[in-house]
Structure 1
Amino acid sequence: MTIFKHLIKHKLHIAILTIPITLLMVGCSGAMPASSWPNSIMADNNLIIANNNAVYAISSDFGKLVWKFPDKPDSTRSQFYTSPAYTNNSIVIGSDNKHAFTIDITNGNEVWNFDATNNKSGTAPTGISVESELAFFTSENTLYALRISNGQTAWKFESAKELWAPPSSNGQYVFLPGMDHTLTSIDISNGSQIWQQHLTGALADSPTIYQETLYTGSLSNSVYAIDASNGMIIWEFEAKGWVWGSPMVIDDYVFFGDLDGYVYALNRANGREVWTSQQLDSASRGTPAYSDGNLFVTSDNGFVYSIDAISGNTVWNIEIDSKNADRLLADPIAHNGLLYITSMNGENIVHAINQSDGVIVWKFNPE
């Protein structure tokens, strides 16, 4: 989750968790992803990291461990790959073994958990978003609306195919992206469908909400601006490659990267191209981070780039770890002058980097 998206969602009392998934080279399939990867968010000046068998809270200034959930290995409390969410002094997290949990942010203790296995074994990508008094939990093809106070189901909504990403919400409606190429608006009060728009490709990440417009990428090269009130397409832009991550909106511009390794800036009003960056070393999946006029993006092959948001020119780039930390798939996070990078592999799962020059300040090793 980017800082800009966090600010929007904080204003609307929304927090988003996303389920990361490794790309299958069939954008329309909706098949079970082959694997997942770690993700992080910033909450109360702590970095919260979901990394397979545990969720970690570490201090953002020095990278020191604050707490770990669970304390000991647990077959149910595992397979954490979602981007955690923060609301009402709780961390909400989903696991690929079809469970959702809330965790007290002060001490890492479990508050409640929800079981979506329906007495069936196996794994599935899951996601959670939180709005007001409800948490929206996706597992397989079902969206569950859970009461934040106790984890009980308020309503549920079934999609035609598996869901790879959680919905976004503006407090009145829930906007659900689907692997069946659909974006669906759902009444937050009762789970009834308001509208559904069929797009040209599968949607692998949550739409970004800015004012009354939804912005989403797709696994068909297209990026869309969609009217949140009726689902009508305002404009469509064709990128060079598939667009996995959610676009970022800053003032009059829309920024995103694609799987061909390009980063784009579009005019928010009409979708026209402002600039396209030089090609990166490899694909860029996560949503860019933004701070003080610069975009920060990561690549599959382990590089981090600082890009001038006005010109699209590269300011600096570094390789995180040439021996281990390939595959930077999670969204980078910009906070208080530092950039936080979560790695899929390597000895250190988090690197904190100076935004100004790309110098690594500290690293976090969970062991």
Structure 2
Amino acid sequence: MSTEYNESWTMFRGNIKRTGSIKTKPLIKPLLYWTIELGPIVSSPVFEGGFLYVATLTGRIFCLDIPKRVIKWHHNIGSPIVSSPLILDDMLICATFDSWINNDNSENNSIFSLNKNDGSIIWKHQTTSDIFSSPCPIGKNIVLGSMDHSLYFLDQKGEIIWKYETGGQIWSSPSCHDNIIYFGSDDGFIYSVRSDGSLRWKTKLNGKVHSSSPCLSEDLIFIGTHEGGIYCLNSIDATIKWNKTVLKPVLSSPLLARDRIIFGTSDCRLYCFNLAGTKIWEFETAGKIWSSPSVSEYDRVLFFGSLDSFIYGINFYTGKQQWKFPTMGSIDSSPCLSDGMLFVGCRDGILYCFEKYREPAYIR
């Protein structure tokens, strides 16, 4: 494999718009490159400069040297991590969800920053509630939601600049565009907040936004609800352009690429729509889809995981299965794509790394 790394996937869904798409080399039919047992993984990995950063339910954060296939460093924070890390300059920003394992105990939760080069702690901010939401950068600042019903805006030293309170827990990860923040809450509203913490607008949907994160185009927002709602809204005035309803919750975050929007749902299906809301195809698995799909802008195959324990590669245009890989546990971690590689975490405790398929020498 190539040892030149010019691309990156530095946050949940790959970018601040949470589109799940990246300009990287196509995989089409991935070949297993490496597996390593780290502990159960719900959080989604991030990648930069040949190093992959992975957080686990055991409270450990790992930095993996991908070309050497070794652990460079690891840090034990002591509380489960389900939020996906953020790479911001030389920092790795993470947050904990202590009651994931320790019932209702949230005394040990924190938002913290590690030095991405050696894993040493830079700062740590204690919180009063669990955090599922993944951090998003706004310049050098950080925004993320919390189970205490508030959206937090922090500076790069971890100091709280402001917080915006909603009427419900915030599982949804915020997205950003032009210094405007978008996020959903369990109170059933999707919010648009300015970078100074003032409300721009909020709109009621058909139920709580439990973990689906807003996916942004230039002027549209796509998001799912716990009551099975699939929505397209105007980002300027929050008018609903179209909406669909499926039978089970939409907890996965949508994928936006090539004028198509793709949702994974708890009815075990992946749905593809055009931007006008016309359904193009659907694909069914044997388990709920909580993992959010990802795709290279140069590839015809998108990737996602399912609670049926398989990683899938689906034709972006037709919805037909192109590739399937078995694991030993449920997958709700979302795939990370970069430099022609695919990285997926799993509850079986294994991190799966794939590279582009190469014909064996005896075939060539």
TM > 0.5 = yes
Tell me how large the CA RMSD over aligned residues is: 2.6
Is this contact kept in 1: 2:41–2:333, CA < 8 A? no
State whether structure 2 residue 63 is matched by structure 1 residue 63. no
Is this contact kept in 1: 2:212–2:250, CA < 8 A? no
Distance 1:285 1:192, change over 3 A: same
RCO (CA 8 Å, sep 6+): is it higher in 1 or 2?
Answer: 2
1:323-342 equivalences in 2 (<5 Å) = 325-342=328-345
Q: How many aligned residue pairs are there?
A: 316
Any idea what the Cα deviations from partners look like across 1:240-271, whole Å, max 9, x if unmatched? Answer: 53221111110211112111111121102x11
Q: CA separation in 2, counterparts of 1:3 and 1:125?
A: 14
Counterpart code for 2:242: W
- Shift of the alpha carbon at 1:9? 5.0
- Shift of the alpha carbon at 1:5? 4.1
2:144 to 121, 137, 140: 137
Is this contact kept in 2: 1:98–1:139, CA < 8 A? no
Which residue of structure 2 lines up, in the alignment, with residue 283 of structure 1?
Answer: 288
Which residue of structure 2 lines up, in the alignment, with residue 264 of structure 1?
Answer: 271
Q: CA separation in 2, counterparts of 1:144 and 1:85?
A: 15
Which residue of structure 2 lines up, in the alignment, with residue 353 of structure 1?
Answer: 354
1:72-111 equivalences in 2 (<5 Å) = 74-75=77-78, 78-96=79-97, 97-111=108-122
Question: SS state of the match for residue 225, structure 1?
Answer: strand
Counterpart code for 2:179: Q
The gaps in structure 2 that reach 5 residues or longer are 1-8, 20-39, 98-107, 359-364
With 307-316 and 60-69 compared, the bigger mean Cα shift is at 60-69
- Shift of the alpha carbon at 1:146? 0.8
Is this contact kept in 2: 1:2–1:331, CA < 8 A? no
1:41 to 34, 42, 46: 46
Distance 1:128 1:335, change over 3 A: closer
- Shift of the alpha carbon at 1:335? 2.6
What TM-score, normalized by structure 2, do the two folds share?
A: 0.80
- Shift of the alpha carbon at 1:8? 5.8
- Shift of the alpha carbon at 1:300? 0.3
Counterpart code for 1:342: G
Is this contact kept in 2: 1:237–1:272, CA < 8 A? no
State whether structure 2 residue 214 is matched by structure 1 residue 207. yes
- Shift of the alpha carbon at 1:36? 8.5
Q: CA separation in 1, counterparts of 2:49 and 2:122?
A: 18
Is this contact kept in 1: 2:213–2:254, CA < 8 A? no
2:308 to 301, 316, 319: 301
Distance 1:245 1:313, change over 3 A: same
- Shift of the alpha carbon at 1:62? 4.7
- Shift of the alpha carbon at 1:101? 0.8
- Shift of the alpha carbon at 1:212? 1.8
- Shift of the alpha carbon at 1:151? 1.5
Which residue of structure 1 lines up, in the alignment, with residue 154 of structure 2?
Answer: 146
Q: CA separation in 2, counterparts of 1:45 and 1:350?
A: 15
Is this contact kept in 2: 1:100–1:137, CA < 8 A? no
Question: SS state of the match for residue 262, structure 2?
Answer: strand
Q: CA separation in 1, counterparts of 2:183 and 2:18?
A: 19
Is this contact kept in 1: 2:42–2:331, CA < 8 A? no
With 297-306 and 2-11 compared, the bigger mean Cα shift is at 2-11
Any idea what the Cα deviations from partners look like across 1:69-90, whole Å, max 9, x if unmatched? Answer: 24xxx54xx3222110111221
Distance 1:45 1:230, change over 3 A: farther
Q: CA separation in 2, counterparts of 1:123 and 1:132?
A: 25
Which residue of structure 2 lines up, in the alignment, with residue 50 of structure 1?
Answer: 55
Distance 1:345 1:79, change over 3 A: same
Counterpart code for 1:64: V
- Shift of the alpha carbon at 1:304? 1.2
